[in-house]
Amino acid sequence: MIKKILIANRGEIAVRILRACKDLGIQTVAVHSTADADAMHVRLADESVCVGPPSPRESYLNIPSIISAACISGADAIHPGLGFLSENSTFAYMVEEHGLTFIGPKADHIAMMGDKIMAKKTAARLGLPTVPGSDGAVTNLEKAVKLAEKIGYPVLIKAAGGGGGRGMRVAKTKEEFSAAYEEAKREAAIAFGNDCLYLEKYLANPRHIEFQIIADAFGNVIHLGERDCSIQRRNQKIWEEALSMVLSPEERKDFGQKITKAIEELKYKGVGTLEFLYENEKLYFIEMNTRIQVEHAITEVITGVDVVREQILVAAGNELSLSQSDVQFRGHAIECRINAENPETFVPSAGVVQNYHCPGGPGVRVDSALYDGCKIPPYYDSLIAKLIVQANNREQCLARLRRALREYVIDGIDTLIPLHLKLTEDADVASGNFDIHFLERKFGEAR
């Protein structure tokens, strides 16, 4: 069993992982930049190591510093959290090369899913539905134009090295295609060091639905249902729900079975998320995330499964503690991402938190690293807290969420709390009438 884990992250996810470690009786090592010396994740850890200056490149992304910190502190495993090094296959490989356990999938599965063309090919081979498009990479403009014609406009040009919405271009017509293609190629070469492109039919108004899976090293795989992450802005999710309103229990069961079979065949190990677009009552695989995600907590509160605990246990070589028939869904859950941003302009807000008061009561969970007087540095992601609310049904969940948001006090910085309050009072949110363009349509592109 793992005795000591180094957590290569900061903020709310580092605190979340620390809590799972403590529940398991595992010793913890925090790493931090000089800007985070007084951060909550450092306070809660048994030990801490400063790994560099504020710039993420020199601290939380500094592989030699982090692996050295693990070796010096006698940790036997590294949890990468999310963002930073969590989907860096080279890092995963190096961690294992140093005789440490990487709390995540095998390096080759991270690399495979990091290449979006390979990920899609793999999903198709394993029997999952994918968006109609090119069969793999398009090799030159001439062939791409012909293919786009065959797929039918509008066509979306995606980069193999992209993902998460980076490096995509829509071509609405044949006239637009060449320029969009050349732009995408140039941009992909610069941004990802990989100019491989592929084409997909552009789905105009999809919802974004993702399934959570957990797999152990013995071939056991379960799914924990899906999350609807459609309410987003510029590929940043703001509000997530579990389960989605659009899947029936039968569809969930059938689709869940397809997914677990695919993951079993892949011999994948760890937690993962399969992302789909949903349009006209059909799901299409687009990408797979090989890390724990921000929104994992809504799945936890409706299933009662501690996903981070299971992630650590399967990485340590244990069998999954439950089987698919043990997975039951209880009511509805919504997560609001509380970002340190202006709720109208989304401009990040750094500063000192004052008058901090956290909501509570039945069905309310807050995951954060906030405390009264804590500093929000300007160098990192603006997510400072997650408000997760669960209730017997969606209507009660919305009422409870509104109550919790009204209780929440965070002074000294701007946060998205006022935006979330508006969303809880929105008729389209109440009726579930939204897709991935909802937020921009409702509140305007400038905001």
CB neighbour class for 440 (10 Å; exposed up to 12, middle 13-18, buried from 19): middle
Residue pair 148/217 in contact (Cβ under 8 Å)? The answer is no
Residues 148-167 that bind ligand MV4 (CB under 6 A): 156, 163-165
Amino acid at 5: I
The gap between the terminal CA atoms of the chain, to the nearest Å, is 49
**According to the binding rule CB under 6 A, does residue 198 interact with ligand MV4?**
no
Position among 131, 184, 197, 423 found at the interface with ligand MV4 (CB under 6 A): 131
Q: How many residues bind ligand MV4 (CB under 6 A)?
A: 18
**According to the binding rule CB under 6 A, does residue 360 interact with ligand MV4?**
no
Cβ distance to ligand MV4 smaller for residue 173 or 235: 235
Residue pair 389/364 in contact (Cβ under 8 Å)? The answer is yes
Position among 84, 202, 255, 276 found at the interface with ligand MV4 (CB under 6 A): 202
Closest contact distance (angstroms) between CB of 120 and ligand MV4 is 10
**According to the binding rule CB under 6 A, does residue 287 interact with ligand MV4?**
yes
Position among 208, 269, 296, 332 found at the interface with ligand MV4 (CB under 6 A): 208
Position among 366, 387, 398, 436 found at the interface with ligand MV4 (CB under 6 A): 436
CB neighbour class for 393 (10 Å; exposed up to 12, middle 13-18, buried from 19): exposed
Position among 157, 286, 315, 374 found at the interface with ligand MV4 (CB under 6 A): 286
Task: Tell whether the torsion through CA atoms of 235, 237, 243 and 245 is positive or negative.
Answer: negative
Cβ distance to ligand MV4 smaller for residue 402 or 442: 442
- Helix/strand/coil (H/E/C) assignment for every residue in 83-145: CCCCCCHHHHHHHHHCCCEECCCCHHHHHHHHCHHHHHHHHHHCCCCECCECCCCECCHHHHH
Residues 55-94 that bind ligand MV4 (CB under 6 A): none
- Show the tokens assigned to 72: 């010096």
Query: Does the annotation mark 291 as catalytic?
Result: yes
Which span sits near ligand MV4 by CB under 6 A: 137-145, 195-203, 326-334, 365-373? 195-203
Position among 12, 36, 200, 335 found at the interface with ligand MV4 (CB under 6 A): 200
Cβ distance to ligand MV4 smaller for residue 123 or 313: 123
CA 221/CA 332 separation, integer angstroms:
24
- Show the tokens assigned to 48: 């801490």
Amino acid at 53: P
Nearest to 144 by CA among 196, 88, 215: 196
**According to the binding rule CB under 6 A, does residue 115 interact with ligand MV4?**
no
Selecting among 291, 337, 365, 400, the annotated active-site residue is 291
Please give the torsion angle defined by the CA atoms of residues 46, 51, 54 and 56, in that order, rounded to the nearest 10 degrees. -100
Residue pair 52/58 in contact (Cβ under 8 Å)? The answer is yes
Indicate the pairing of strand 375-376 with strand 354-357. Answer: unpaired
List the x/- string, 218-257, binding to ligand MV4 by CB under 6 A: --------------x--x----------------------
Cβ distance to ligand MV4 smaller for residue 275 or 310: 275
Task: Tell whether the torsion through CA atoms of 430, 432, 438 and 439 is positive or negative.
Answer: positive
Closest contact distance (angstroms) between CB of 13 and ligand MV4 is 20
What is the contact surface with ligand MV4 in residues (CB under 6 A)?
Answer: 131, 156, 163-165, 200-203, 206, 208, 232, 235, 275, 277, 286-287, 436
Which residues form the catalytic set?
291
